[in-house]
A and B are shown apart, each in its own frame.
Chain A
């Protein structure tokens, strides 16, 4: 197990290095110039040229890459070209909103989605199952921003029960923090609930038709024991895989929700950085996110051993 973890950690470093090279080349070869954005639309060519020189953007690409790599190896993720602040500081500022939204969404999606899927599979063809089909079609097809705007008008502007937008740090009080996250969490959860529910339903359906389930029923096992002791344990691996992937996706993929609800998270940080061509932010965030992906996948792989004793590394 230890060797397996070490091997995975080494592969994570290799993945991050590959991502680093790819991202570095991608953003520099893509059209755009941070100096032009910095100088503004009315700037003269001379002004833009001066800024380019000052930022070192006229250096050859290998020189720029080496410079950046040396900084990264020294633990320095650089400074934002625009705000002049350390990238790690900016990331730290944005991590709490994104983590809060992601974890709450994951909790809601897993709780509701898995329950929904299990019940639908248990009573396949029944009312719950049909409802799940309708809900999952809705969850997949309606864009997140439509759900978001609808909820805002219903529960924020219309009634004033919840804030329209923004984020309150957890340090400002639990109730304020939670109130600001209710609408974004519900909005973002809709497709994930649909996704988790469909996977849970499919996995459970497969397991419920296994011979050992028939044996358990013949031995007089209760519905509860059959469902949760026998079926769910065996259906757990694909559900866990989906949850792991969803969390990894949530960390970097909540841009739209963050935009609709004006949550200053990592997703918006990256989008703004891409618009501005703020190279240090784009590079650092993508490298760190790739590392996070690898770690989450590792955690999911290790969690398999807890659910399925047959799996060993």
Chain B
């Protein structure tokens, strides 16, 4: 068989075309990939109503899908977000808010003042700041399509801070019909007015969730700053891949299958730092405060001496070396108001500051009349840091002769057991370990951790009337200086009655591929997805 020159050329062209197809397809695939960002967040999104739960994944989901009236900038100051103009009356009792132009929900309907009023009322049922607002408000109502007012019994200095809170659940604005449902009923429509639309068709609970850019979103003109400023989305789609195993998540990051891991485990940080394609970046500089909470209602921690003993016993540096071995991502903390807030102070911290004094602790337990009662420490085995910290607490207590016993369970079990106010013999508890955002842990209006009103307080049920009386004055303080003075007083009392014992603070770096840039630094622990950009591979 012979072939003419023309046939050879035709065959060559055909082969060339065929061979070029994969590269064309690859180019298209690469381009699409550059417009999509795959993220692994810390935890699984299982609740879609951002007012229904305090979990972080739901708050992240809320930040993507919904919008807020005010937002915190990177310094933690409240800035208008959905609100265009606002004013306050001379007697400081009436706030008037006007929505900015162009706001619409994902179903196309405009955002109205009625939506805002209903949303605030719903949020007011579940959030400590919202509850305070509802207590202090005489009227929250719309004036016209875009304007609504909040009228108060008296001045409420931190009103804008309350509306801009990043302490979950956040005051997201929902459609009036959704917001009119009780806060105890989940709203699962996922129709907000935020910069991303939730893609229901691609939702695979437990596997992945997809957020598409909201093309109709009108961002503010200011540059993005923390949660405030213009929420400009530079990618078409963000996909949350739920990768339960951290090692697998890191392998996928190294392999380029995902772009971002929110909370890589501390022992893998050196490996990430040494990879030329990856970068570690601290987005939330405020960190997480780890603490142990004691049960004020039962022996031995119903006695203040036993609680003070714990302050002397705990050596934060020892804890930090276990839960966050790299010193650049760990620091000690003694202020009830965190390390990074304007209210952080050193009032009444000198006496226990060093900790790690087992002899003093032993003496205080004796003074408390400790007679060998069982101390049950709830150990969350599925949260490594909590589990390690619980183990260390138990060991240190046993060393000074305290009859400490671990009660291992997953967090689901602890969530139920910690509601038990009874003695340990009846399924109660003595100590559990948890953490809280540095930014909000001590905020008297936003944090339930800091309540000391007995039965109404957070688990552990601390009670101190003097502390509560001072905490009540916070809302009436008109200036930062006044609130700082109140913070010092509160902290002075707190460390006398020992509402909790701090174990240290960790700062968690995120890991991402270097192609992913312009991730936003934020003042608290909630992740936002606007502003970031992704270069083509």
Interface residues of A (CB under 8 A from B): 30-34, 36-45, 47-48, 50-51, 53-54, 80, 82-85, 90, 93-94, 149, 152-153, 156-157, 160, 163-167, 259-262, 264, 268-269, 272, 275-277
26 inter-chain pairs at a CB distance below 8 angstroms, sorted by A residue, are A31-B409, A31-B417, A37-B411, A38-B52, A38-B53, A39-B52, A40-B54, A41-B55, A42-B168, A54-B184, A82-B47, A90-B205, A149-B247, A156-B251, A160-B255, A164-B254, A164-B255, A165-B257, A259-B248, A260-B245, A260-B247, A261-B248, A262-B243, A262-B248, A272-B244, A275-B411
Q: Give 4 nearest A-B pairs by CB, closest first.
A: A36-B415, A264-B207, A40-B54, A33-B416
Q: How far is the CA of A260 from the CA of B245 in the complex (A)?
A: 6
B44–A272 touching, CB < 8 Å: yes
Q: Does B349 contact A (CB under 8 A)?
A: no
Residue among A44, A47, A166 making CB contact with B257, cutoff 8 Å:
A166
Chain A contacts of B458 at CB under 8 A? 44-45
Q: Does B126 contact A (CB under 8 A)?
A: yes
Q: How far is the CA of A166 from the CA of B208 in the complex (A)?
A: 10
- Tell me the minimal C-beta distance from A161 to chain B in angstroms: 11
Chain A contacts of B207 at CB under 8 A? 93, 167, 264
Q: How far is the CA of A260 from the CA of B251 in the complex (A)?
A: 10
Chain A contacts of B257 at CB under 8 A? 163-166
- Tell me the minimal C-beta distance from B103 to chain A in angstroms: 27
- The digit string for B341-384, where 1 denotes a CB below 8 A from any CB of A, is 00000000000000000000000000000000000000000100
Chain A contacts of B459 at CB under 8 A? 45
With contact pairs A31-B416, A156-B255 given, residues A165 and B206 touching in the complex (Cβ less than 8 Å): no
Chain B contacts of A51 at CB under 8 A? 52, 184
- Tell me the minimal C-beta distance from A89 to chain B in angstroms: 9
User: B48-71: which have CB < 8 Å to A?
Assistant: 48, 52-55, 58
Q: How far is the CA of A34 from the CA of B188 in the complex (A)?
A: 18
B204–A41 touching, CB < 8 Å: no
With contact pairs A42-B54, A157-B251 given, residues A276 and B46 touching in the complex (Cβ less than 8 Å): yes
Q: How far is the CA of A203 from the CA of B47 in the complex (A)?
A: 53
A41–B419 touching, CB < 8 Å: no
- Tell me the minimal C-beta distance from A273 to chain B in angstroms: 9
Q: How far is the CA of A164 from the CA of B186 in the complex (A)?
A: 36
B241–A166 touching, CB < 8 Å: yes
With contact pairs A44-B458, A84-B186, A260-B245 given, residues A165 and B252 touching in the complex (Cβ less than 8 Å): yes
Q: Does B425 contact A (CB under 8 A)?
A: no
B416–A165 touching, CB < 8 Å: no
A153–B251 touching, CB < 8 Å: yes
With contact pairs A43-B53, A47-B126, A156-B255 given, residues A262 and B185 touching in the complex (Cβ less than 8 Å): no
Chain A contacts of B74 at CB under 8 A? none
Q: How far is the CA of A3 from the CA of B242 in the complex (A)?
A: 47
B185–A264 touching, CB < 8 Å: no
Nearest residue, chain A, Cβ from B437: A42
- Tell me the minimal C-beta distance from A169 to chain B in angstroms: 10
Q: How far is the CA of A164 from the CA of B250 in the complex (A)?
A: 10
Nearest residue, chain A, Cβ from B44: A272
Chain B contacts of A85 at CB under 8 A? 205
With contact pairs A156-B251, A165-B251 given, residues A275 and B186 touching in the complex (Cβ less than 8 Å): no
- Tell me the minimal C-beta distance from B471 to chain A in angstroms: 16
If A259-B244, A275-B411 are given as contacts, then 14 extra A-B residue pairs at C-beta distance below 8 Å, sorted by A number, are A34-B412, A36-B415, A37-B412, A39-B52, A41-B415, A42-B449, A44-B458, A54-B184, A85-B205, A157-B255, A163-B255, A164-B248, A165-B243, A264-B242
With contact pairs A42-B54, A47-B126, A90-B205 given, residues A157 and B46 touching in the complex (Cβ less than 8 Å): no
- The digit string for B155-188, where 1 denotes a CB below 8 A from any CB of A, is 0000000000001100000000000000111101
Nearest residue, chain B, Cβ from A51: B184
Chain A contacts of B208 at CB under 8 A? 264
Interface residues of B (CB under 8 A from A): 44, 46-48, 52-55, 58, 126, 128, 167-168, 183-186, 188, 204-208, 241-245, 247-248, 251-252, 254-255, 257, 382, 409-413, 415-417, 419, 434, 436, 448-449, 458-459
Chain A contacts of B241 at CB under 8 A? 166, 262
A32–B188 touching, CB < 8 Å: no
Chain B contacts of A157 at CB under 8 A? 251, 254-255
Chain B contacts of A276 at CB under 8 A? 46, 412
A54–B185 touching, CB < 8 Å: yes
With contact pairs A47-B126, A90-B205, A93-B204 given, residues A32 and B410 touching in the complex (Cβ less than 8 Å): yes
Chain A contacts of B243 at CB under 8 A? 165, 262
Chain B contacts of A277 at CB under 8 A? 412
Chain A contacts of B448 at CB under 8 A? 42, 44
With contact pairs A39-B54, A163-B257, A259-B245 given, residues A84 and B412 touching in the complex (Cβ less than 8 Å): no
Chain A contacts of B419 at CB under 8 A? 33, 36, 45, 48
Q: How far is the CA of A149 from the CA of B242 in the complex (A)?
A: 18
Residue among B205, B382, B449 making CB contact with A83, cutoff 8 Å:
B205
Q: How far is the CA of A262 from the CA of B53 in the complex (A)?
A: 26
- Tell me the minimal C-beta distance from A125 to chain B in angstroms: 41
Nearest residue, chain A, Cβ from B449: A42
Q: How far is the CA of A291 from the CA of B367 in the complex (A)?
A: 61
Nearest residue, chain B, Cβ from A156: B255
- Tell me the minimal C-beta distance from B33 to chain A in angstroms: 14
B47–A38 touching, CB < 8 Å: yes
Chain A contacts of B185 at CB under 8 A? 54
With contact pairs A54-B184, A276-B412 given, residues A152 and B47 touching in the complex (Cβ less than 8 Å): no
A32–B206 touching, CB < 8 Å: no
Q: How far is the CA of A221 from the CA of B183 in the complex (A)?
A: 80
Chain A contacts of B382 at CB under 8 A? 275
Chain B contacts of A31 at CB under 8 A? 409, 412-413, 416-417
Nearest residue, chain B, Cβ from A53: B184
Nearest residue, chain B, Cβ from A89: B205
Nearest residue, chain A, Cβ from B440: A42
A40–B168 touching, CB < 8 Å: yes
- Tell me the minimal C-beta distance from B207 to chain A in angstroms: 3
B416–A32 touching, CB < 8 Å: yes
Q: How far is the CA of A38 from the CA of B57 in the complex (A)?
A: 12
Q: How far is the CA of A166 from the CA of B184 in the complex (A)?
A: 35
Nearest residue, chain B, Cβ from A258: B244
Q: How far is the CA of A164 from the CA of B40 in the complex (A)?
A: 14
Chain B contacts of A30 at CB under 8 A? 413
With contact pairs A42-B436, A166-B257 given, residues A275 and B412 touching in the complex (Cβ less than 8 Å): yes
Chain B contacts of A94 at CB under 8 A? 206
A262–B252 touching, CB < 8 Å: yes
With contact pairs A45-B459, A165-B248 given, residues A32 and B184 touching in the complex (Cβ less than 8 Å): no
- Tell me the minimal C-beta distance from B431 to chain A in angstroms: 15
Q: How far is the CA of A36 from the CA of B46 in the complex (A)?
A: 13
Chain A contacts of B205 at CB under 8 A? 80, 82-83, 85, 90, 93
- Tell me the minimal C-beta distance from B443 to chain A in angstroms: 12
- Tell me the minimal C-beta distance from B256 to chain A in angstroms: 8
With contact pairs A42-B436, A44-B448, A48-B419 given, residues A262 and B255 touching in the complex (Cβ less than 8 Å): no
- Tell me the minimal C-beta distance from A274 to chain B in angstroms: 8
With contact pairs A31-B417, A82-B47 given, residues A260 and B54 touching in the complex (Cβ less than 8 Å): no
Nearest residue, chain A, Cβ from B186: A84
Q: How far is the CA of A90 from the CA of B204 in the complex (A)?
A: 8
With contact pairs A42-B54, A45-B459, A84-B48 given, residues A268 and B186 touching in the complex (Cβ less than 8 Å): no
A32–B436 touching, CB < 8 Å: no
Q: How far is the CA of A47 from the CA of B242 in the complex (A)?
A: 27
- Tell me the minimal C-beta distance from A83 to chain B in angstroms: 4
B46–A83 touching, CB < 8 Å: yes
With contact pairs A31-B409, A276-B412 given, residues A268 and B244 touching in the complex (Cβ less than 8 Å): yes
B251–A164 touching, CB < 8 Å: yes
